[in-house]
Amino acid sequence: MYLYTCMCISFGTLRLARLDVSHNGMTSIADGAFDTLHETLNELDLGYNEFQSFEDVFLDFRMLQYLGLAHNRLGQAFADGRDRLGHLFDSLQLLQVLYSL
């Protein structure tokens, strides 16, 4: 599944536990893309894309245990700290950020 530069799809009523959208060349995620997944998603792999920052994508995640962000261009993406990450650290067990420029 190639999502081009923006993840602009809605998952509707799907109740996914794992979502891997790595290696897609994505640069952004549309507002509301994860609205129906924040209560069920355990693993999210966004690695090997072209992300430079995240707005409020992670604010409502409560079940996420693994977040893969390897090989993006994050640099100062989380400079605002915990405010941008919401409840993410309440459940997160592994955060993978390797080789992010």
CATH number of the domain encompassing residue 20: 3.80.10.10
pTM here is 0.74
How far is the C-alpha of 83 from the C-alpha of 25, rounded, in Å? 27
Q: Report mean pLDDT in 10-residue bins for the chain, 101 residues.
A: 45 79 90 83 91 79 87 72 60 66 52
User: How would you classify the pairing of strands 43-45 and 66-68?
Assistant: parallel
> How many domains does the chain fold into?
1
Q: Range of 29's domain?
A: 1-7+15-101
User: What pLDDT is recorded for position 30?
Assistant: 82
- Nearest residue to 59 (alpha-carbon basis) of 86, 37, 41, 40: 86
User: What pLDDT is recorded for position 46?
Assistant: 92
